[in-house]
Structure 1
Amino acid sequence: MGGPGGLSRSGMSRRGFLSAAAFGAAGAATLGTGAPSAGARTRLRSQAPTNGLPSPDSITVTDPAFLDAVQAASLLQSGALHPRELLDACLTRSNEFDGEIGGWIRIYPEMAYEAADAAAQRLSQQSVSTNGPAPLVCGLPLALKDLFAVSGLPLTASSRVLEGNIAAGDSTVWRRLKDAGMVLLGHAHTDEFAIGVATEQVGNPWNTEYSPGGSSGGSAAVLAARFVPLATGTDTGGSLRLPASACGITSIKPTFGRCSVRGVIPLTWTRDHAGPMGRSVADAALMLGFMAGADPEDPSTAAGPAVPDGGYPLSAKGGPTPLSGKRFGVVRSDVDALPDATRTLFDEYLDLVRRLGGTTVDVKLPRLPSDITTGDSAEMGSYHNQFKDRLGLYRLGHAGSAALSIAALAVPAIDYMTAARNRLIYQHEYNRMLADHDLDAILVPGAKADGSKRSEVAGISVFSGVMGNVGWANYTGAPVISTPAGRSAATGMPFGVQVGGRPWDESTLIEIVLELQAARPDLLEAPTVAPAPRDIPRVQVTTPGAGPDPTNTANVGFGFHFLPTTSTAAI
């Protein structure tokens, strides 16, 4: 029903959707609604893929909606697939299957088809001959978490508090992706204002009684359900990693400051990370190369090294022991606390690491300072203070969190500054742990529980830490990849592993996970989703909000900006 084999749901064979793009629309079948006329299509070029993309001839997927991002990029770049056909497939699948999942809050078909046509022009032989190759993400559909501003479109943080709010400008991340030719399909639901870990209004595609995790649960759900190949998320307390683990997809929480958060509705300014989500690490790495970079409007982005020339690695090197010489720290206390079924999955993943040549050693993460959350509440309150007359509009459970954060504005300045210093000490201790054990990465369970019912986790804050050991990466700013490790024999739900490393060293982590995923591609399986039609709200671009902030809310932050460090010195 929702699987990738045989014919697509439109009845089109692989040959059908490939030849339709390569030779124009005259007489070609199309997928879904919004099919272009024969004169509307632009003939695409045909050439071999570059930069680690798979060969078009190696791709056997029959429904374009089931193409991974790197597969779709290869077909788009080679001329074997037209951006409109890919968009058709994603829209058709969303409309036919999102009824029980509810991952989308809004979609933008009119804007998306305009962007797909513009992408087709950039991918055409004529444009390539004149302007050079199009960016590798050109023509790929995208879901934005409902925190990322898009000028003239609604931005609501999945909350009644911002009902009717229209973004005043583009977030930096969206501007970068738009300039690279990506196609915005819609905004995906978030747990309200990214406060919680449930995204309770969204069902997990593997079993809709279960939570997709939060707060980027909508983004994870539309990826897992094969509604879209790429999505953005944010991570303040595991909000990229917990949904990735819950939905069986991959996320990269980059180093703090690697991706700008300008124009993103904040939770706490010094812990918020923007990052990519995909079905594989290659997918997420592909988009990270276009999301990342310095932004004068976000000073933290100027602290680290430049994005590697040509982007991040996209393919595994392979061989029998590609992880030979790599050392991995295993946070044993977290592993020992896992339920039996997910403990088995984690142990099997360690066996995979060792089979590929890696060495594992048990380690302890440094203890988080007791006052570490002091700044979190105050920072959250400094943003939500503007909505103190609308507390009754928050979701049940989050109104109290918002009220407590506003009350935290009374915290003495010295307490905030002391917590900031203790955080710096913690960063140094984390780096020293890596250095003392000569580690390339650490391995941490992606979640504490073996799946969570939606009703069980509603209203739980990302600051609580009850869903997984995730705060270490937000307080250090270190990069982490969440990668699938299989499905529980007890619940049938996905479970992931966090692979963490040193600040600014995303490339090493990506290289490691590429090898792990290449060795176990079965771990990247898609759920079988039952048909459940939904009339998803469709919105057109309108007059932008007054601003001045792109979010059209009071989002000024403050002068202090957290910067990750690689220092191991005692303080």
Structure 2
Amino acid sequence: MREGLSRRTFIAGAGVGAAAVGLGGRAAAGERIHRRERTLPDVDSITVTDPALLSAVEAASLLQARKLHPRELLEACLTRSAGHDGDIGSWVRIYPEVAREQAERAGTRLSADGVRRDGAAPLVCGLPIALKDLFAVKGLPLTASSRVLEGNIAAGDSTVWRRLGESGMVLLGHAHTHEFALGAGTPQTGNPWDTAASVGGSSGGSAAALAARFTPLAVGTDTGGSIRFPASVCGVTSIKPTFGRCSTYGVIPLAWNRDHVGAMGRSVADAALLLSHMAGPDANDVVTKLGPDVGADGYPLVARGGRKPLAGKRFGLPATVSDDLPEATAALFDDFLGLVRELGGEIVDVTMPPLPKGLLLGDQFEAGAYHQQFTDRVGSYDAVNAAQVTAAVASLSGPVADQLKLNRERATYQRAYNRLFAEARLDAVLVPGTIHDGMRRGGGPGQYVNGAAQWANLSGAPVVCTPAGRSAATGIPFGVQVGGRPWDEAGLVSLALELQEARPYWRDAPDLPASPRAIPEAVRTTPGPGPDPTNTDAAPPALRFTASTATDPV
């Protein structure tokens, strides 16, 4: 179905604020006026009736204009979650008491008095958000969707939540992850388009909450496709930024040197708005200090439009990348390629560099280094993950030389990836979001949603996964990965904005039957002893991967 389009008057405000404002200022105050592509939708163009169905940029526009109060938006999201999350199961826990306090503070900050006293509020102020159950929030439970961490209370805030909280965002709750992010199924959660279908993983709860319109924004992690697979099968948008663009401090790890914190929204504008407030250097995560600054304006939010907005842009189509697609999703991928050409883009055949052969060993080693602290609780893991964790811990006895060899192979791969872009003069590569169509929901590896994804985690390059329609065979959404050069999130966002402007598949929403659920609630309590914010031993190793734009062979 399409979201409701009849107009209603939202909560009365004390005057109309500047809806078309940039990330760093107010046009009404005579300050620097930001470029058109960095503005919010005009208030009068917003016709959605239910606050829970607003996109993030639409809600931000109304909040900034004081036509919508953060408390009204929050209550709409809580009501929708309570009425429909029974069969979906996207939430681990929600925090109504905490969220209502944050919403009231955000409302004060957005009020005329707040603006006069403190200046313009950040554009995400008052927006609800779901955090994957790996992100620490001081004094709140953090369990990685696992019995292993039952009763665990975060000792501090993850850097990402600290930044978002300081920007005035409202924490709805923690969304399910595949246990400890160890798989690509998230079996606790059903796909809102068909709850018998897989939601993908490991950020499956975040994607499901977005698709179901329980929250306008969510945060996930991606170690090998973990935000891209769920985004693809749920019909939402994700941005896996360059490795090091967002801090992983205070996030339960899977593999420190491949974990990417990413932004998720219904549209790329939504995800870009969120990423603008997540990204940046962090003294607690040294790799975040190595890349170029994001810039005060953040990332673009609006397409330029026109008949040929992609003219002059070159898109690489990797050989054999679509060979394993089922017929229905192959047709959607072909249609997407046709859209790129229609908008003026040029598609060129390319060959991606081969993946390092030691990949699995590297994953096991880093996972084992983290999970060895829980060897007395192996019986509390899911059976499949218990075996995986046991093997990972055992891998720690392997030769150190194997790890050094893998690190060198990864550096070789990264430079080969960069060289591909340079030699073929590419602006992006195009890769199917998944190779599955309607994978059934389940707990074993046979029910994991998979596809070509490791290329982006090994290279550290950014990727936008954008909706590309729904399968004629199953009705499940299908997405396309648009990957770029390291540190070029802004360029990728600009490309995706044009594609979504031409085909706004992200506006499609599932019809949700009534499915009430008494979602577990929690309140703040005494923080865990730490010292890590996760209240586990999550400190990364001294040897860290760094994202580079170098092209010379190692």
With the length of structure 1 as denominator, give the TM-score of the two structures: 0.92
- Measure how far apart 1:399 and its partner are: 0.6
Question: Superposition pairs for residues 102-501 of structure 1, below 5 Å?
Answer: 102-455=89-442, 458-459=444-445, 467-501=450-484
8 Å Cα contact 2:266/2:506 also seen in 1: no
Structure 2: runs of 5 or more not aligned: 23-38
Q: Cα RMSD (Å) of the superposition?
A: 1.4
Whole-Å separation in 1 of the counterparts to 2:544 and 2:446: 27
- Measure how far apart 1:547 and its partner are: 0.2
8 Å Cα contact 2:3/2:508 also seen in 1: no
Deviations 1:509-552 (A, max 9, x none): 00000000000114531111111000001110000000000000
Deviations 1:309-360 (A, max 9, x none): 2110000000000000000001230112211110100000000000000000
Partner of 1:40: none
Whole-Å separation in 1 of the counterparts to 2:297 and 2:306: 24
Whole-Å separation in 2 of the counterparts to 1:341 and 1:442: 22
Q: Secondary structure at the match of 1:301?
A: helix
- Measure how far apart 1:50 and its partner are: 1.3
Q: Secondary structure at the match of 1:335?
A: coil
1:14 to 8, 17, 21: 8
8 Å Cα contact 1:49/1:78 also seen in 2: no
- Measure how far apart 1:49 and its partner are: 2.4
The code of the aligned residue for 2:467 comes to: P
Q: Secondary structure at the match of 1:329?
A: strand
Partner of 2:32: none
**Would you say 1:533 and 2:516 are equivalent positions?**
yes
8 Å Cα contact 1:503/1:564 also seen in 2: yes
8 Å Cα contact 2:439/2:447 also seen in 1: no
Deviations 1:100-152 (A, max 9, x none): 00000100000000000000111011111222110000000000000000000
Whole-Å separation in 1 of the counterparts to 2:507 and 2:417: 30
Whole-Å separation in 2 of the counterparts to 1:135 and 1:460: 44
8 Å Cα contact 2:88/2:208 also seen in 1: yes
Partner of 1:29: none
The code of the aligned residue for 1:373 comes to: L
Whole-Å separation in 2 of the counterparts to 1:253 and 1:525: 22
Partner of 2:18: 47
Q: Secondary structure at the match of 1:187?
A: strand
Whole-Å separation in 1 of the counterparts to 2:3 and 2:311: 34
Whole-Å separation in 2 of the counterparts to 1:352 and 1:132: 42
Deviations 1:47-78 (A, max 9, x none): 34212100010000000000000000000001
The code of the aligned residue for 2:325 comes to: L
Partner of 2:28: none
- Measure how far apart 1:79 and its partner are: 0.8
Structure 1: runs of 5 or more not aligned: 8-12, 23-42
Deviations 1:400-436 (A, max 9, x none): 1111100010111111001100110000111111111
Whole-Å separation in 1 of the counterparts to 2:364 and 2:67: 51
Partner of 2:546: 563
- Measure how far apart 1:470 and its partner are: 0.1
1:545 to 525, 528, 549: 528
Whole-Å separation in 1 of the counterparts to 2:483 and 2:419: 14
Whole-Å separation in 2 of the counterparts to 1:524 and 1:450: 20
**Would you say 1:61 and 2:44 are equivalent positions?**
no
Whole-Å separation in 2 of the counterparts to 1:353 and 1:394: 45
Structure-2 change in CA distance of 1:540 and 1:438 (3 Å): same
Whole-Å separation in 2 of the counterparts to 1:149 and 1:372: 28
8 Å Cα contact 1:45/1:124 also seen in 2: no
Whole-Å separation in 1 of the counterparts to 2:102 and 2:16: 18
Whole-Å separation in 2 of the counterparts to 1:414 and 1:21: 66
8 Å Cα contact 2:467/2:505 also seen in 1: no
Whole-Å separation in 2 of the counterparts to 1:281 and 1:222: 16
Whole-Å separation in 2 of the counterparts to 1:444 and 1:6: 33
Structure-2 change in CA distance of 1:6 and 1:442 (3 Å): closer
Whole-Å separation in 2 of the counterparts to 1:314 and 1:194: 30
Whole-Å separation in 1 of the counterparts to 2:395 and 2:199: 30
Whole-Å separation in 2 of the counterparts to 1:198 and 1:101: 13
Q: Which is worse superposed, 59-68 or 330-339?
A: 330-339
Q: Secondary structure at the match of 1:134?
A: coil
With the length of structure 2 as denominator, give the TM-score of the two structures: 0.95
Whole-Å separation in 1 of the counterparts to 2:485 and 2:4: 40
Whole-Å separation in 1 of the counterparts to 2:447 and 2:366: 15
Structure-2 change in CA distance of 1:200 and 1:446 (3 Å): same
The code of the aligned residue for 1:458 comes to: G
Structure-2 change in CA distance of 1:449 and 1:461 (3 Å): closer
Deviations 1:256-293 (A, max 9, x none): 00000000000000000001100000000000000000
Whole-Å separation in 2 of the counterparts to 1:73 and 1:92: 20
8 Å Cα contact 2:5/2:47 also seen in 1: no
Structure-2 change in CA distance of 1:199 and 1:44 (3 Å): farther
Q: Secondary structure at the match of 2:87?
A: coil
Q: Secondary structure at the match of 2:253?
A: coil
Whole-Å separation in 1 of the counterparts to 2:460 and 2:408: 15
- Measure how far apart 1:6 and its partner are: 6.7
Whole-Å separation in 1 of the counterparts to 2:143 and 2:548: 34
State the percentage of identical aligned residues: 60
8 Å Cα contact 1:345/1:486 also seen in 2: yes
8 Å Cα contact 1:44/1:82 also seen in 2: no
Whole-Å separation in 2 of the counterparts to 1:459 and 1:429: 31
Whole-Å separation in 1 of the counterparts to 2:503 and 2:275: 23
The code of the aligned residue for 1:50 comes to: V
Partner of 1:10: none
Whole-Å separation in 2 of the counterparts to 1:48 and 1:235: 33
